[in-house]
Amino acid sequence: MQLYNDLFHIQNELARIKADLGRKKTTTGAQMSQLKRIMHDYANAIRDYEYMNQLTILPDLARNDNRIFLEVAFPELGSHPTFPFDTAYRTLNRNVVRKSDVVREILRKYLLRRLTWSPAERKANKVGYNKGDRPETYSLFVDRLARFIIAVGGGAALVVPMLIMSFHASRTKSLITVSISVVIFALSLSLGFSTDNKDTLTATATYAAVLVVFVGSSNVGP
């Protein structure tokens, strides 16, 4: 909003100078110096505006983290009727951490509240905590438990198909198992996690390659 105001203010200054030049039909050294200064400010304001628009907008969960931290650190501003911290937040980091996924969302919604509420959010929103509301952010416990579950799930996604292919092994059974496992893995990754196309394709291809190598290294019949 401040960048918009700066641009509008400079545009109005330029319009006044243009009107003054048109009325007097002449220019002075002072006017040229003023015009040069304003054009320089205008160019800087445009560059600042373009730069800010290129920054990554924080997702809701990370934005709430920042808002809660600021409200706890500056309670007088946080309790102001105009809600100054309830605004858009941008970051220099293109890979914003703590994006939501299905595992963290399930833990956030269904675990005990003393585990899901972080101390900072509990302090900032005592009413919501006492009412039994769900927290807006992930606590450290939820974040670490989700990592553990995802790690175990990733290992199981490899071990289970390999065990299936190891018993009564046959080439046909192995190929069917690999095909079904890759489809399930791709669906789980696409629907449950916020990954871009490149990361999804890379992870799925790597997973398929590991299973194919296992099939190729196994001495199985037709």
* Percent of the chain as helix, strand, coil, to the nearest 5: 75, 5, 25
Task: Please give the share of the chain, as a percent, with pLDDT higher than 90.
Answer: 24
> pLDDT class for 158, splitting at 50, 70, 90?
very high
Tell me the residue ranges of DSSP E strands in 50-185. 56-57, 90-91
Contact residues for 128 (Cβ-Cβ < 8 A; gap 6+): 135
Cβ proximity of 161 and 181 under 8 Å: yes
| Per-residue pLDDT tens digits for 90-132 | 766 554 445 678 899 899 889 998 898 888 778 767 777 888 8
d(CA 94, CA 198): 15
User: Which residue from 182, 173, 184 is spatially nearest to 210, judged by alpha carbons?
Assistant: 182
How many CB atoms neighbour CB 94 within 10 A?
7
> pLDDT class for 80, splitting at 50, 70, 90?
confident
Q: What is the mean pLDDT of residues 173-201?
A: 90
> pLDDT class for 222, splitting at 50, 70, 90?
low
At residue 83, φ and ψ (nearest 5 deg) are 50, 65
